[in-house]
Amino acid sequence: MPACQPRTTLHERLPKRTLAAVLIALAIFSRSISGQEPAAQKSTSDAFAAAKPLLEKHCHSCHGPEKQEGNLRLDTVQGLSIGGKSGAVLVPGKADESLLVTAVRRTDPSLEMPPEEKLPDTDVQVLIDWIQQGAKHPDGQIVLSPPKPPFDLEEARKFWAFQPLPLPLTSPDNSSHAIDHWVNSTLAAKGLNQNSPADKLTLIRRATFDLTGLPPSREEIQQFLNDESPDAYSRLIDRLLATPQYGERWARHWLDVVRYADSNGLDENIAHGNAWRYRNYVIESLNRDKPFDLFLREQIAGDLMIDDSTDEATRIERLTATGFLSLGPKVLAEGDETKMQLDIIDEQIDTIGKSMLGLTIGCARCHDHKFDPIAQADYYALSGIFQSTKTMESLKRIAKWNENSVATAADKQALEQHQAKINAKKSDIDTLIKTATASAGESKNVPEDQFPEDVRKQLTTLRDELKTLEQSVPELPTAMGVTDGEMSNGRILPRGNHLAPGRLMNRTIPVVLDRDGSFKAEDTHSGRLEFAQWMTSEKNPLTARVIANRVWRWHFSRGLVATADNFGKLGEAPSHRELLEWLSAELVRSGWSLKSLHRTIMLSETYQASSDTNAAAEALDPDNRWLWRWTPRRLEAESVRDSVLAATGVLDRSMGTSMLHVKNREFLFDHTSKDLTKYDSNRRSIYLPVIRNNLYDAMSLFDCTDGTVPNGDRASSTVASQALFFMNSGLVIQAADECASRLLQQFPDNEQQRVEQLFWQTLGRAPSVNESQAISSAIPKVTERLRSDGVAENDLARAVWTNIVQTLLMSNEFLYVK
Amino acid sequence: MFENSTSPFRSHRRSLLKSVAAGFGGVALNALCQQAAASEIGGSPFHFTPRAKRVIFMFMKGGPSQVDTFDYKPQLQKDDGKPLPFAKPRVQFAPTGNLLGSPWRFRQYGQSGIPVSELFPNVAQLVDDICFLNSVHGTNSAHGGAALKLHTGSDNFVRPSMGAWVSYGLGTENHNLPSFVTICPTLAHGGVNNWGSAFLPAQHQGIPLGVASQPATAAAVKYIANPKWSTAAQRTQLDLLRELNQQHLLQTADDVAMEARIHSYELAFRMQSEMPRLQDLTQETKETQDMYGLNEKMTENFARQCLMARRFAEAGVRFIQVTHSDSFVQWDQHGDLRKGHTKNAAEVDKPIAGLLRDLKQRGLLEDTLVLWGGEFGRTPTAQGTTDGRDHNPEGFTMWMAGGGVKGGTRYGATDEYGYYATEKPMHMHDVHATLLHLMGLDHKRLTYRYAGRDFRLTDVAGDVHHGVFS
């Protein structure tokens, strides 16, 4: 995690040098503008011969044989190669990137040399020429060695998560499902036994919630219970995987990981009016079972995966996918634009690190990672890739993120046609005026009020029509996303301070991950495409492990690596390492098919085990780490709301676009604190706006992520405000009321049938005798109570049933899957 | 009931209790947790002897001007209209012009003789109870970043708010109430992040009562009242619920989470009567109401917030925030300083003084830390065509009273014009470190492990300023 933001402390204030500091800071990010070309090519020895006396006269006294201030000496090839405390002192061939030049140019107030006074421009140019021509030295070649990693590279690569994936790994025991094989062998070693399978009623409820986030209908349950064929369960899984609700459910999981939101949040909360396109892209990709490796590549570098031959739908998809990089919260009013850009890049690195690699790379912004083998140099090498990526259109307060056009040919045609209509209307107006003028027999302008009345009327009509047309020009759709920008490498910023930039790093990935040292970002591109390709290649075992573990986490409420977003040293070691390796390899083998992974997991006995508890197992393994049972779980926020709507029959299953009440880039609420966002739709929760800084309370109360940082491991709390929500919220009461009204219509004369139907709708089963009795004896009490509260006789039945329905919605069984 | 089941001082049962973590209100299985507490804490949660038990933070949204209120600068008055003789900060929010003397007169008050401007005649009477932090500074010159920095210690990442940290460290004194409430907070500039718990367990987040756009009379916990059923009808409903849940529990065998949820409904039901009772200010005497200015139009709204704050403090809420913010950015006088600051100060002066007096007369001031301030101060240089001042995070004034701070003092100083903090500069991280210290918590030891790292309110910075303590 970008642990500690760079601090430009007040104590470091250097008011008199303000301008220079800003200039140098800006210069870090702009493509370096080379110094003047050397007037004439001199021989390399000439160049050094000219520079040598200057170095001797102005530098060697402090950076020579006697003294080495800042650990720097400039009188030897070795010294010139190693550089000093601030890093490399020069880059052969690149004067602009050389700290020596920065120092003598005096563009950075924290680095001005020689200290006494500025060298004459002619002398400065001599030094520039020498470096620009390759910094040739008679004693040997100046070679910049990459900074030595602050850890033992070989040792670091032995860490389990960095090791190559064993491909393919088969279960040594063919008689059982591979998953069960490893789970059972661990259980046996711990002296535990796995529960027997859950009953069918439990299984269909579990599987349906798990894959679709919704309860099964009464008909679906009946059908499954009646199906006695041996593959009934397997076909159930196939049916569920094929529903569009599957994508809606599992897209929400991925949105947690990519900190999806429909507003910026942080300081200036303006609308991500087009974020929904990314959201729907995720839903559709999952429903089509797009290979997960491709899915990831599109999100990192979709814009670089298209060319003129790419079909329209794919082009739009890939441009939309890069919204992943720009969805993060940004400090859009940051006055220091350099810092803003660094913060944005940092957020991107942090998100990519956690979401895809399970690594907290962001920790290395200000210092080498304290626990994982990621040096600050690695961080800034990687940051160059994102510095060379255009995420922002403008950094001026209030800054604007970049959006790419995702217009279809049809959109463009519609616009052209509209434009043509406008032009036609204009020419109609011109013609009318000309005709009227001509018929007046005058050669010059005739005031319009002298036109005949019918012409004037016609003109007014035409102009009104023109106005309507002009006001309804279709907007070409755009999507949040990135493109390649100006190529620029990252400089190491000691303590993250951008006012004192250090050595320049080539764009690459962290050295510990670049096992064969083959990663190369082309000079002409940001390197995002190469990064994306590496990310999903066999050279990188982390990605497959991280997503396989995530899928397991979302099925079982706990990952095999419990810290789903952190596979580093401070993450937890896997509880079942072979199992995780096998699942990861299996995922890759299947062509990165998530649906295949779901099937594999859900067909295991481990997944189908009952959730019953027993004291002995509870004592040995209270957290169910060893999987002796299926861990019951509370519904996630979205499922809470969706289930209330589904159970009461009011859920709208159509797909949504944007539900924001404001346009793209407008304030959700500024100083008024009045949030006019509406959540009164009956669509599934994934389509409701995610407003950072003010999440919809029906979501935040039930531990929905806040959309600001990757979170693949949601909490599941039990707090009294959740009870208040079920007791008092309009959402629950209205749904209960609607349901009551339907029940009364459906079964006007039969209370017992009503009770039965209510249980099926809310809990997916028939009521027990005791439960029926409890309800029957409660009804007269509630009736009496409401009557004495003044409810009119005509409204009484509906009110009583609203009260009863609400009670079922409040019940534990409704809220938990077992 | 707002049991602090995941405080840093207990760990063994954390995994068990994580799934039933308490909150507003935590339903951490009273009996279970208290046993856990008794057997596992085995000592106090404090790192030091606490001087304060609770905090009332009065947030002045927009950035009150230090040189027009509590940081008197005679040189500024003298050099009115002249250029600032030293450089302005590297990053400024907007350009400003020459020095602008304060339009308000200052007078010395109390035994300490601390000068206060005529904007705060009532608070001025209490200077001997107040420690003015004249050298506070921050890092961000925009409202959003600065407000986030003040509330959470971070302006570019979402981090737990200081109230959430205090709740995490100390829990609540009243198990039927949340440990952290914020009255009429603003949704702009950080919004919920300013009272959120981020990665800390959910029970530590601040519970908002209303928002800034509503009058304090409408401030209420969301869903605290039922729109359809009478209390009696709800009781009948909860009785049936209990019966159904008990039957379910028999089938699922003992499950901690299920039991916790059953309790949560009973707690919620009790809270429905408890919260409105605490917010009912008609229970206060006329004298008390008048002391806060509850019956005057100008002061009514903020008085209501302050009086509620006292009642929550008395009832055992650990961290209470009140916010002075209208539908604009209340204290943000880029222009019309005279008019704006006059109105703003008039709205809060009497309520603040009332609160301090009331706490004092009830013996509560001793262990209640009152913190006052905005997200930054304002420039001593002029902005705009009328009288105006720009944002200034470089040096401004916050103040503390009660809870172990040294009254009648000015701590630290700005330069002769009030632009930069120069003497004993106190970064916002230092304010946080000092505040936690007063609560008996070491800001370096109050940590939470998340995403592979131990996090603190003060990140990797923060110094405790002992000079503030009595």
Model confidence at A97, in pLDDT bands (50, 70, 90)?
Answer: confident
| Encoded amino acid at B446, one letter | L
- Taking only residues 724 to 783 of chain A, the set having a beta carbon closer than 8 angstroms to any beta carbon of chain B reads 724-725, 727-730, 733, 768, 770-771, 774-775, 778, 781-782
**Within 10 Å of residue B246's Cβ, how many Cβ atoms?**
13
Which pLDDT score, from 0 to 100, does residue B281 have? 95
Is residue A518 located within the same domain as residue A400? yes
Q: Per this entry, what is the length of chain B?
A: 470
DSSP bridge partners of B426: B136
- pLDDT of residue A683 exceeding 60: yes
Q: By the CB < 8 Å criterion, does A158 face chain B?
A: no
Q: Across the interface, do A719 and B26 touch by the CB < 8 Å criterion?
A: yes
Residue ranges of the domains in chain B? 46-224+294-468
* Ranges of chain B with pLDDT below 50: 1-43
Q: Does any domain span residue A119?
A: yes
Judge if A465 and A335 occupy the same domain. no
Contacts of residue A222, Cβ cutoff 8 Å, sequence gap at least 6: none
Q: Measured between alpha carbons, how far is A526 from A520 in angstroms, rounded to an integer?
A: 11
Nearest to B233 among A2, A715, A786 (CB): A786
Q: Indicate whether A383 and A428 sit together in one domain.
A: no
In this prediction, residue A30 carries a pLDDT of: 36
Question: Burial, A456: exposed, middle or buried (Cβ in 10 Å; 0-12, 13-18, 19+)?
Answer: middle
Structure tokens at B55: 């905090």
- The number of folded domains in chain A is 4
Predicted pLDDT of residue B4: 34
- What is the pLDDT confidence band of residue A132, given thresholds at 50, 70 and 90? confident
Contacts 24+ apart (CB under 8 A), A196-200: A196/A609, A196/A610, A197/A605, A197/A608, A197/A609, A197/A610, A198/A608, A198/A609, A198/A610, A198/A611, A198/A630, A198/A818, A199/A610, A200/A224, A200/A225, A200/A233
Mean pLDDT rounded to a whole number for chain B: 87
Same domain for A395 and A413, yes or no, is no
Top-tier CATH class for B46-224+294-468: alpha beta
Phi, psi angle pair for A55, to nearest 5°: -60, -45
Asked if A322 reaches chain B (Cβ–Cβ under 8 Å), the answer is no
Within a domain: A458: yes
Pick from A569, A722, A730: CB nearest B264: A722
Distance from the B204 Cα atom to the nearest Cα atom in chain A, whole angstroms: 11
Which token pair is B360? Answer: 């004092």
Segment A141-188, tens digit of pLDDT: 776 666 778 899 999 999 999 999 875 566 666 667 899 999 999 999
**Selection from A44-58, A73-87, A453-467, B250-264 with the highest mean pLDDT:** A453-467
Q: Which of B374, B424, B412, B418 is nearest to B394 (CA)?
A: B418
Look up the pTM and report it.
Answer: 0.81
Q: What angle do CA B344, B348, B352 make, to 5 degrees?
A: 155
Beta-carbon neighbour count of residue A158 at 10 Å?
Answer: 9
- State whether A335 and A469 are in the same domain: no
Task: For residues B308 and A724, give the distance between their C-alpha atoms in angstroms, rounded to a whole number.
Answer: 22
Which residues of chain A lie closer than 8 angstroms to B140, CB-CB? Answer: 331, 334
Evaluate if residue A369 carries a pLDDT over 80. Answer: yes
Same domain, A461 and A338: no
Same domain, A351 and A494: yes
Q: What is the mean pLDDT of residues A775-801?
A: 96
Query: For residue A641, what is the DSSP state?
Result: H
Q: pLDDT by residue (tens digit) across A322-336?
A: 999 999 999 998 888
* Cα–Cα distance for residue pair A294/A535, rounded to 1 Å: 10
Judge: B20–A21 Cβ closer than 8 Å, yes or no.
no
Is A339 a member of any domain?
yes
Chain B interface includes A818 (CB < 8 A): yes
A391 lies in the same domain as A505? yes
For the record, the structure tokens of B102 come out as 């304060």
Confidence of residue A209 (pLDDT cuts 50, 70, 90): very high
B329 close to B379: Cβ distance less than 8 angstroms: no
User: B368-373 and B396-402: which strand pairing?
Assistant: antiparallel
Smallest CA-to-CA distance from A562 within B11, A570, A258, A571 is with A571
- Taking contacts as CB-CB distances below 8 angstroms, the residues of chain B near A775 are 240
Q: Do B223 and A775 touch (CB under 8 A)?
A: no
Closest-approach residue (CA) in chain B for A328:
B157
**Are A334 and A401 in a shared domain?**
yes
Judge if A58 and A85 occupy the same domain. yes
Q: Are A267 and B143 in contact (CB under 8 A)?
A: yes
B89, B142, B229 ranked by CB distance to A333: nearest: B142
Query: Are A435 and A486 contained in the same domain?
Result: no
pLDDT tens column, A631-669: 999 999 999 999 999 999 999 999 888 899 999 999 987
User: Is residue A497 within 8 angstroms of chain B, CB to CB?
Assistant: no
Domain extent for A777: 727-817
A235 closest CA partner among A247, A223, A245:
A223
Q: Is A21 on the interface with B (CB under 8 A)?
A: yes
Better-scored residue on pLDDT, A637 or A496: A637
Helix (H) or strand (E) holding A384: helix A376-387
First to last CA, chain B: 34
Residues A127 and A37 grouped into a single domain:
yes
Residue A468 lies in a domain: yes
Taking CA atoms, A364 is separated from A385, A493, A546, in Å, by 16, 10, 21
The answer to whether residue A284 neighbours chain B at the CB level (below 8 Å) is: no
Cβ-based burial of A663 (10 A; exposed 0-12, middle 13-18, buried ≥19): exposed
| A418 assigned to some structural domain | yes
